Structure 1
Amino acid sequence: MNFTDLLDGALHDLRTALAAVEDEQLTTLRGLILGAPRVFVAGKGRSGLMMRGFAMRLMHLGLQAHVVDDVTTPGIVAGDLLLIGSGSGRTPSLVRYAEIAAAQGAPIALLTIAEQSPVRDYATWTVRIPAHSPKLADGGGVSSALPMGSQFECALNLLLDLVTVQLMADMQVEEPDMVARHANLE
C-alpha cells in the first residue's frame, strides 16, 4: 500500500472516531478542567505521552497541571481533577489512581474507548472515543488502518489539541500568552 492510501485511511479513521464525540461531552470536560484548582493527568504508554502533552498545554494556558508519576507531583485533594486517558480503562495503575482520587474526593474524567471498565466505574465524566484497540475483546468494535491502539492515541492527541483551542476561547487566552509560559530552558 502506498503512503497516500495509508494517509487517506488514517485520516478517515481519525475523522470517524472524533466525529462521534459530542460537543456536550467536551463542554462538560472543559467545565471540569476550568473548575478545578489543579488538574492531574495520567495515562500509560503512548496514551500517557498524549496526556503529558496536554498537561503542557494546560500549563501554557496558565492552569495548574501535574503529570501523575512525576517526582514533583503533589498529592491530589478534594476539588482537584484527575484526567485519565486510557483506551481500555483497565490498566492496573490507572485503576489505582482513580481509586485514590475518588477516596480523596477528587472528580475523575476519563477519555477512553471502552463502554465499560474499572476506571470508568470511578469516573465522574467520560468522553468515549470509538476507536480500535487490540486490548479489547472485540477490538473496540472498530477496525482501523492504523496499527495497535494508534487510532485512539492519535485521536486522543488531536482531541486534546482541539480542547486546548476551545479552552483558549473560554479563557480568552491568546497564543502569545501561551508562548510567554513556554519553557525557556531548552
Structure 2
Amino acid sequence: MNTADYALEITKELQRSITRISNGEADQLAEMILEAGNVFVAGAGRSGLMGRALAMRLMHLGIPAYVVGETVTPGIGPGDLLVIGSGSGETQSLVTMARKAKEIGAAVVTATIHPDSTLGRLSDLPVRLPGTPKDQQTAGSGEKATIQPMGSLFEQTLIILYDAVILRLMEQRGQDSSQMFGRHANLE
C-alpha cells in the first residue's frame, strides 16, 4: 500500500469506530462539563495530548479548564470535573488521580476501551470508546481490528469524541468559532 491507501484505511477504521460511540454518554459528558466549576483533563502519552486539545477548546469556549501536571494548574475541588482519557483504564498514575479527585468531591469521567476497568469503575461516567489496546491488534474472530500501531485508533476516536463534545457545547452556549477565536492565544 502507498501512503494515501493507508490514510484511506485509517478513515474507514475511524468511521466504524465513531459509530460505536454512545450518544447518551457523549451528551452526558457535555452536561457534566457545563455543570462543573472547573474542568481538569488528564491522560498518559498520546491520550494526554488529546486531553490537552480538549482543555484548549474548553478555554476557547470560556470554560475554566486545566491540564493536570502543568505548573499553573490549581487544585481540584468539590464541584469540579476530572476528564481522563485512558485506553486500558488501568494506568496507575491516572487511577491515583481519580481516587484523589473522588476523595475531594470532584466528579470523574473516563473515556476508555474498558468501562469495567479500575478507572471505569471509579468514574461517575465511564464513556466507552472502541479501539484496540496496545497489546491486542486483532478482533475476536482473528481478523485484524486495525492496521494502525498500538493505541492509535483509540486516540483518534478520543479526539473526535472531544471535538464532538465541543461542538455540542458551542451549540448549547450559543457560541461560534469567531467568538471562540477572541480567546485564542495572541502572544504567538
- Aligned-partner residue type, residue 95 of structure 1: V
Over the aligned positions, Cα root-mean-square deviation in angstroms equals 1.5
Q: Is contact 2:36–2:81 with CA below 8 Å preserved after alignment?
A: yes
Could you tell me which residue of structure 1 aligns to residue 93 of structure 2? 93
Find the residue that maps to 2:6 and give its secondary structure: helix
Point out where structure 2 has 5 or more consecutive residues left out of the alignment: none
Total equivalences in the alignment: 185
Could you tell me which residue of structure 1 aligns to residue 157 of structure 2? 155
Q: Which runs of 4+ in 1 moved over 6 A?
A: none
Query: How far apart, CA to CA, are the structure 2 residues paired with 1:139 and 1:115?
Result: 20
Query: How far apart, CA to CA, are the structure 1 residues paired with 2:87 and 2:131?
Result: 8
Q: Does 1:181 align with 2:183?
A: yes
Could you tell me which residue of structure 2 aligns to residue 113 of structure 1? 113
Deviations 1:131-160 (A, max 9, x none): 011246x86867112111000111111221
* 1:11–1:121 CA distance, 2 compared to 1 (3 A): same
Point out where structure 1 has 5 or more consecutive residues left out of the alignment: none
* 1:140–1:38 CA distance, 2 compared to 1 (3 A): farther
* 1:50–1:63 CA distance, 2 compared to 1 (3 A): same
Could you tell me which residue of structure 1 aligns to residue 25 of structure 2? 25
Query: How far apart, CA to CA, are the structure 2 residues paired with 1:97 and 1:25?
Result: 22
- Aligned-partner residue type, residue 86 of structure 1: S
Q: Is contact 2:112–2:129 with CA below 8 Å preserved after alignment?
A: yes
Query: How far apart, CA to CA, are the structure 2 residues paired with 1:31 and 1:140?
Result: 33
Query: How far apart, CA to CA, are the structure 2 residues paired with 1:22 and 1:149?
Result: 20
* 1:156–1:173 CA distance, 2 compared to 1 (3 A): same
Find the residue that maps to 2:40 and give its secondary structure: strand
Instruction: State the 1:3 CA deviation.
Output: 2.1
Q: Is contact 1:88–1:112 with CA below 8 Å preserved after alignment?
A: yes
Could you tell me which residue of structure 1 aligns to residue 16 of structure 2? 16
| TM-score (structure 2 length as normaliser) | 0.93
Alignment of 1:127-138 (within 5 A): 127-135=127-135
Query: How far apart, CA to CA, are the structure 2 residues paired with 1:73 and 1:147?
Result: 32
